[in-house]
Amino acid sequence: MTGRDPTAMPNVFRADNIADLSARSQDLIARRARALGPAYRLFYERPLEFVRGEGCWLTSANGDRYLDAYNNVAAMGHCHPAIVEAVSAQLGRLNTHTRYLDEQIVQYAEDLLSLFPAELSQVMFTCTGSEANDLALRVARHHTQARGVIVTANAYHGVTEAVAAISPALGPHRGDDSHVRYVRPRGVAIGDPDRLMESVAEAIGSLQRDGHGVAAIMLDTIFSTDGVLPRVDDLAGAIELVRQAGGLFIADEVQAGFGRVGPDYWGFRLHGLIPDLVTLGKPMANGYPVGALVAQPDFLSRFGRDNRYFNTFAGGQVAAVAAAATLREILRPGLLQSVAAVGQYMREGLLGLARSYSAIGDVRVAGLSIGVELVRSGAGEPDPEMAAHVVNSLASQKVLISATGPDANVLKIRPPLIFDQDHADIVLAALRKALHAR
């Protein structure tokens, strides 16, 4: 089993920092720990409490406005008026489930599928990304009659027992992973060649030798928790090896999907790949819980013949309306071109910073999914302390980002898709100040 201490989550609040917080924060932290128990984590050295959201801005309990350059769920901006209005109206009209005929969910399904390659032509609804991945695993295992799964070395795919077991980012206590093999999506140091095909070939051999067979490789197509890696050599070859071994390719688009990477809509398109199964979630309904599994029908046929599927809250009228209203906003002319343009503007700004500050070892950008790898000057070693300093310095400047990667040294900048150049300038200025202060 690989993995690290679960308390080592990047950008985690440590209770030993509590003394200099306000009395209100200290009290809420203590009550939260008592009521929610020990498994939850808070972000930032000084935890934040928000009471209002609008566009790219969050307002804290003491009235300060923070620029949100981190939260991807409210992709069209916090509390988007047209989406709030559509959801509220439907809540007042009807909310049942998918065991009745309903035009809205079928229309939404058709509209969603029209954004996929023709091969991916059926969709099943869930409430979360975890459920979508769990369902994808069930489908893949039923289709292949195999159990083994290949994921990346610091992947995160969710919280059910099945998907926690394939989420090494959760640390060593995530459950039985004897049927899971881990591959590195990139070379060890910046600039080292990727060896994905080699490690996938080894993983397949190991799963076959141990009698698990290969059900699937599941990949977050921008490798967010592996350090934000929108380009990985050998990906197509690695997928081909899995397919030759009988396994399916599941693209986890919970992070990458719905325009996060720009006009390509989906992360798998950055790699020129067509997955067998695709999972969706987070930004799908701008904060209302909607997820989905999109599939090539051949892979659903045996599963559908042998199982029935019902998910109480998934695909009901409010979910359908929330997702449809969000999709309408995402498809507004110019939005995804703006994602690409602002992403490019951020890239240029970050590369400018990299010329002044040798702590920046690499800048990786796909649309508005941005990773900035921080290294110790000269040595090129990962610098998680620097990443923690920058993330917390930005929070003190009222700009929200976080950190990620197996070494917790990659700044993760992942704002709502409506982020514009003025917002980008605020982030870049705050980053300059944080880097200068070290």
Ligand X SMILES: Cc1ncc(COP(=O)(O)O)c(C=O)c1O
Q: Which is nearer to ligand X, 255 or 326 (CB)?
A: 255
> CA 221 to CA 167: how far, in whole Å?
15
Least gap, CB of 264 to ligand X (angstroms): 17
When binding is defined by CB under 6 A, the residue of 78, 157, 181, 195 that contacts ligand X is 157
**Minimal CB distance residue for ligand X:** 129
| 233, 261 Cβ separation under 8 angstroms | no
Total residues binding ligand X (CB under 6 A):
14
Residue 133 in contact with ligand X, rule: CB under 6 A: yes
Over the window 216 to 245, marking each residue x when it contacts ligand X by CB under 6 A and - when it does not, the resulting string is: ----x-------------------------
| 389, 44 Cβ separation under 8 angstroms | no
Other C-beta atoms closer than 10 Å to the C-beta of 360 total 23
Residue 168 in contact with ligand X, rule: CB under 6 A: no
When binding is defined by CB under 6 A, the residue of 252, 362, 383, 407 that contacts ligand X is 252
Which range binds ligand X by CB under 6 A, 102-110, 113-121, 156-164, 409-417? 156-164
> CA 1 to CA 9: how far, in whole Å?
18
When binding is defined by CB under 6 A, the residue of 10, 53, 129, 287 that contacts ligand X is 129
Q: Which is nearer to ligand X, 228 or 245 (CB)?
A: 228
> CA 411 to CA 427: how far, in whole Å?
12
Residue 156 in contact with ligand X, rule: CB under 6 A: yes
**Angle CA 269–272–277, to nearest 5:** 65
Q: What does the DSSP 8-state code read for residue 100?
A: S
Helix 129-144 × helix 297-306 angle, to 10°? 80
> CA 274 to CA 254: how far, in whole Å?
16
Q: For CA atoms 194, 198, 203, 206, give the dihedral sign.
A: negative
Q: Which is nearer to ligand X, 147 or 282 (CB)?
A: 282
Q: Which is nearer to ligand X, 169 or 342 (CB)?
A: 169
Least gap, CB of 289 to ligand X (angstroms): 7
Q: Which is nearer to ligand X, 116 or 223 (CB)?
A: 223
Least gap, CB of 158 to ligand X (angstroms): 4
Residue 413 region by backbone torsions, left for phi larger than 0, else alpha for psi between -120 and 50, else beta: beta
Give me the residue label for tokens 């795919």: 157
Over the window 265 to 304, marking each residue x when it contacts ligand X by CB under 6 A and - when it does not, the resulting string is: ----------------xx----------------------
| 275, 235 Cβ separation under 8 angstroms | no
> CA 153 to CA 166: how far, in whole Å?
10
Give me the residue label for tokens 């067979």: 213
One-letter amino acid at 160 equals: T
One-letter amino acid at 336 equals: L
Residue 404 in contact with ligand X, rule: CB under 6 A: no
Residue 338 in contact with ligand X, rule: CB under 6 A: no
When binding is defined by CB under 6 A, the residue of 98, 152, 255, 402 that contacts ligand X is 255
Q: Which is nearer to ligand X, 150 or 428 (CB)?
A: 150
Contacting residues toward ligand X, per CB under 6 A: 128-130, 133, 156-159, 220, 252, 254-255, 281-282
